[in-house]
Amino acid sequence: MKNWQLILLSVFTTLAASALILLISQEPRGNFILLPTRQPPSPLSVYITGAVNQVGLYELPSGSRVNDAVLAAKGLRSNANPAMINLAAPLTDGQHIHIPIIGESPLPDESAVTSNPQITAIPLSKDDPININTAGIDELDSLPGIGATRAQDIINYRDVHGAFQTIDDLMNVPGIGETIFNSIKDYITVTVNDNKESIP
Protein backbone atom coordinates (compact mmCIF):
# COMPACT_ATOMS: atom_id res chain seq x y z
CA MET A 1 0.00 0.00 0.00
CA LYS A 2 1.31 3.43 -0.97
CA ASN A 3 2.02 6.16 1.56
CA TRP A 4 -0.80 8.40 0.43
CA GLN A 5 -3.26 5.53 0.76
CA LEU A 6 -2.07 4.88 4.33
CA ILE A 7 -2.47 8.55 5.18
CA LEU A 8 -5.99 8.62 3.69
CA LEU A 9 -7.00 5.47 5.57
CA SER A 10 -5.64 6.92 8.82
CA VAL A 11 -7.53 10.18 8.33
CA PHE A 12 -10.77 8.30 7.54
CA THR A 13 -10.42 6.06 10.60
CA THR A 14 -9.73 9.07 12.84
CA LEU A 15 -12.82 10.88 11.53
CA ALA A 16 -15.05 7.82 12.00
CA ALA A 17 -13.82 7.30 15.58
CA SER A 18 -14.37 10.99 16.39
CA ALA A 19 -17.91 10.89 15.02
CA LEU A 20 -18.69 7.79 17.06
CA ILE A 21 -17.32 9.35 20.27
CA LEU A 22 -19.32 12.53 19.63
CA LEU A 23 -22.52 10.56 19.05
CA ILE A 24 -22.11 8.56 22.25
CA SER A 25 -21.30 11.60 24.40
CA GLN A 26 -24.34 13.64 23.33
CA GLU A 27 -27.22 14.10 25.80
CA PRO A 28 -30.37 12.30 24.73
CA ARG A 29 -32.94 14.62 23.21
CA GLY A 30 -36.54 14.95 24.36
CA ASN A 31 -38.16 14.33 27.73
CA PHE A 32 -38.87 11.05 29.40
CA ILE A 33 -42.60 10.30 29.70
CA LEU A 34 -43.71 8.41 32.78
CA LEU A 35 -46.81 6.45 31.87
CA PRO A 36 -49.36 6.14 34.69
CA THR A 37 -49.79 2.65 36.08
CA ARG A 38 -53.30 1.25 35.81
CA GLN A 39 -54.79 0.48 39.19
CA PRO A 40 -56.59 -2.86 39.43
CA PRO A 41 -60.37 -2.47 39.83
CA SER A 42 -61.66 -2.54 43.39
CA PRO A 43 -63.45 -5.70 44.53
CA LEU A 44 -67.20 -5.73 45.12
CA SER A 45 -68.89 -6.40 48.45
CA VAL A 46 -72.34 -7.96 48.05
CA TYR A 47 -74.81 -9.40 50.54
CA ILE A 48 -76.78 -12.48 49.48
CA THR A 49 -79.78 -13.88 51.34
CA GLY A 50 -82.63 -16.28 50.73
CA ALA A 51 -82.42 -19.76 49.23
CA VAL A 52 -78.63 -20.18 49.21
CA ASN A 53 -76.60 -22.60 51.29
CA GLN A 54 -74.57 -19.93 53.07
CA VAL A 55 -76.15 -16.51 53.53
CA GLY A 56 -73.58 -13.79 54.03
CA LEU A 57 -71.49 -10.87 52.87
CA TYR A 58 -69.02 -11.73 50.12
CA GLU A 59 -66.16 -9.92 48.39
CA LEU A 60 -66.05 -10.64 44.66
CA PRO A 61 -63.87 -9.39 41.80
CA SER A 62 -65.01 -6.40 39.78
CA GLY A 63 -67.20 -7.46 36.86
CA SER A 64 -68.80 -10.35 38.76
CA ARG A 65 -72.39 -11.39 38.17
CA VAL A 66 -75.22 -12.81 40.27
CA ASN A 67 -74.06 -16.34 39.45
CA ASP A 68 -70.66 -15.58 41.03
CA ALA A 69 -72.38 -14.45 44.23
CA VAL A 70 -74.48 -17.63 44.27
CA LEU A 71 -71.36 -19.76 43.87
CA ALA A 72 -69.65 -17.85 46.68
CA ALA A 73 -72.68 -18.61 48.87
CA LYS A 74 -72.16 -22.36 48.24
CA GLY A 75 -74.89 -22.59 45.62
CA LEU A 76 -78.68 -22.65 45.61
CA ARG A 77 -80.73 -24.63 48.08
CA SER A 78 -83.09 -27.29 46.74
CA ASN A 79 -86.10 -25.02 47.41
CA ALA A 80 -84.71 -22.10 45.38
CA ASN A 81 -86.76 -20.91 42.41
CA PRO A 82 -84.29 -20.68 39.49
CA ALA A 83 -86.97 -19.24 37.21
CA MET A 84 -87.00 -16.06 39.32
CA ILE A 85 -83.23 -15.50 39.16
CA ASN A 86 -81.25 -13.69 36.50
CA LEU A 87 -77.83 -15.26 37.09
CA ALA A 88 -76.31 -13.11 34.34
CA ALA A 89 -77.15 -9.79 36.04
CA PRO A 90 -74.00 -7.72 36.73
CA LEU A 91 -73.17 -6.76 40.31
CA THR A 92 -72.17 -3.44 41.82
CA ASP A 93 -70.61 -2.71 45.18
CA GLY A 94 -72.95 -2.75 48.18
CA GLN A 95 -75.79 -4.69 46.61
CA HIS A 96 -78.23 -7.01 48.38
CA ILE A 97 -79.28 -10.08 46.42
CA HIS A 98 -82.27 -12.06 47.68
CA ILE A 99 -82.85 -15.49 46.15
CA PRO A 100 -86.56 -16.39 46.46
CA ILE A 101 -87.75 -19.86 47.39
CA ILE A 102 -90.37 -21.72 45.38
CA GLY A 103 -93.69 -19.96 45.84
CA GLU A 104 -92.11 -16.76 47.19
CA SER A 105 -92.62 -13.54 45.29
CA PRO A 106 -89.50 -11.46 44.72
CA LEU A 107 -89.21 -8.47 47.01
CA PRO A 108 -90.08 -5.14 45.34
CA ASP A 109 -86.54 -3.86 45.80
CA GLU A 110 -84.91 -7.11 44.69
CA SER A 111 -86.02 -7.05 41.04
CA ALA A 112 -82.53 -7.83 39.78
CA VAL A 113 -82.84 -11.52 40.61
CA THR A 114 -85.63 -11.66 38.04
CA SER A 115 -85.39 -9.98 34.65
CA ASN A 116 -84.04 -6.57 35.62
CA PRO A 117 -80.21 -6.44 35.46
CA GLN A 118 -80.02 -3.81 38.21
CA ILE A 119 -80.03 -4.86 41.88
CA THR A 120 -81.27 -2.33 44.40
CA ALA A 121 -79.39 -2.38 47.68
CA ILE A 122 -81.16 -2.17 51.02
CA PRO A 123 -78.96 0.33 52.84
CA LEU A 124 -77.72 -0.40 56.36
CA SER A 125 -76.63 2.52 58.49
CA LYS A 126 -75.22 2.77 61.99
CA ASP A 127 -76.70 6.27 62.13
CA ASP A 128 -80.21 4.97 61.40
CA PRO A 129 -80.39 1.51 63.01
CA ILE A 130 -83.31 -0.86 62.49
CA ASN A 131 -85.74 -1.06 65.42
CA ILE A 132 -86.15 -4.80 65.97
CA ASN A 133 -89.41 -4.19 67.89
CA THR A 134 -91.16 -2.62 64.91
CA ALA A 135 -89.21 -3.81 61.83
CA GLY A 136 -90.99 -5.86 59.21
CA ILE A 137 -89.63 -8.95 57.50
CA ASP A 138 -87.97 -6.98 54.69
CA GLU A 139 -86.01 -4.76 57.08
CA LEU A 140 -84.92 -7.68 59.25
CA ASP A 141 -83.99 -9.71 56.17
CA SER A 142 -81.59 -6.93 55.13
CA LEU A 143 -79.43 -7.53 58.22
CA PRO A 144 -76.26 -9.62 57.66
CA GLY A 145 -76.82 -13.31 58.30
CA ILE A 146 -80.55 -13.05 58.98
CA GLY A 147 -82.46 -13.91 55.81
CA ALA A 148 -86.19 -14.34 55.36
CA THR A 149 -86.54 -17.39 57.63
CA ARG A 150 -84.74 -15.88 60.63
CA ALA A 151 -86.53 -12.58 60.05
CA GLN A 152 -89.84 -14.42 60.41
CA ASP A 153 -88.49 -16.18 63.53
CA ILE A 154 -87.72 -12.79 65.08
CA ILE A 155 -91.23 -11.56 64.37
CA ASN A 156 -92.75 -14.78 65.74
CA TYR A 157 -90.63 -14.52 68.91
CA ARG A 158 -91.66 -10.89 69.32
CA ASP A 159 -95.34 -11.79 68.92
CA VAL A 160 -95.12 -14.53 71.57
CA HIS A 161 -92.77 -12.94 74.13
CA GLY A 162 -93.45 -9.25 73.60
CA ALA A 163 -91.06 -6.43 72.77
CA PHE A 164 -87.31 -6.87 73.09
CA GLN A 165 -86.00 -4.96 76.10
CA THR A 166 -82.40 -4.77 74.85
CA ILE A 167 -80.73 -5.69 71.61
CA ASP A 168 -79.00 -8.57 73.43
CA ASP A 169 -82.42 -10.22 73.84
CA LEU A 170 -82.25 -10.99 70.12
CA MET A 171 -79.93 -13.90 70.98
CA ASN A 172 -82.94 -15.57 72.64
CA VAL A 173 -84.36 -16.15 69.16
CA PRO A 174 -83.50 -19.69 67.98
CA GLY A 175 -80.76 -19.65 65.35
CA ILE A 176 -79.30 -16.30 66.37
CA GLY A 177 -76.08 -16.84 68.26
CA GLU A 178 -73.24 -14.60 69.27
CA THR A 179 -71.60 -14.63 65.82
CA ILE A 180 -74.69 -13.40 63.99
CA PHE A 181 -75.50 -10.95 66.80
CA ASN A 182 -72.02 -9.40 66.60
CA SER A 183 -72.42 -8.89 62.85
CA ILE A 184 -75.70 -7.00 63.22
CA LYS A 185 -75.51 -5.26 66.62
CA ASP A 186 -74.24 -2.01 65.10
CA TYR A 187 -77.28 -1.83 62.80
CA ILE A 188 -80.10 -2.51 65.28
CA THR A 189 -81.79 -0.80 68.20
CA VAL A 190 -84.87 -1.25 70.38
CA THR A 191 -87.48 1.21 71.51
CA VAL A 192 -88.54 0.83 75.13
CA ASN A 193 -90.90 3.47 76.54
CA ASP A 194 -90.34 5.57 73.38
CA ASN A 195 -86.60 5.87 74.09
CA LYS A 196 -83.97 4.27 71.94
CA GLU A 197 -81.45 2.11 73.65
CA SER A 198 -77.95 3.26 72.86
CA ILE A 199 -76.10 0.66 70.84
CA PRO A 200 -73.00 -0.78 72.50
Q: Are residues 139 and 96 in the same domain?
A: no
- CATH number, residue 87: 3.10.560
Residue 131's CB is within 10 A of a number of other CB atoms, namely 17
Tell me if residue 175 falls in helix, strand or coil.
coil
Give the model's pLDDT for residue 98: 85
Could you read off the pLDDT tens digit of each residue along the chain, which spans 200 residues? 566 666 767 766 777 676 667 666 665 566 666 666 677 778 888 988 888 888 888 999 988 989 899 999 998 888 888 777 788 888 888 888 888 887 765 554 443 444 333 333 445 566 778 899 988 888 888 887 787 888 888 988 988 889 999 999 999 998 888 888 888 888 899 986 544 444 44
Q: Are residues 168 and 118 in the same domain?
A: no
Domain presence at residue 20: no
Give the model's pLDDT for residue 42: 82
Domain assignment of residue 84, given as a range: 40-122
Domain presence at residue 5: no
Q: Are residues 149 and 103 in the same domain?
A: no
Q: Are residues 169 and 135 in the same domain?
A: yes
Structural domains of the chain, count: 2
| Cα–Cα dist 184/17, whole Å | 79
Domain presence at residue 172: yes
Q: Are residues 94 and 142 in the same domain?
A: no
CB 73 within 8 A of CB 97: no
Give the model's pLDDT for residue 179: 84
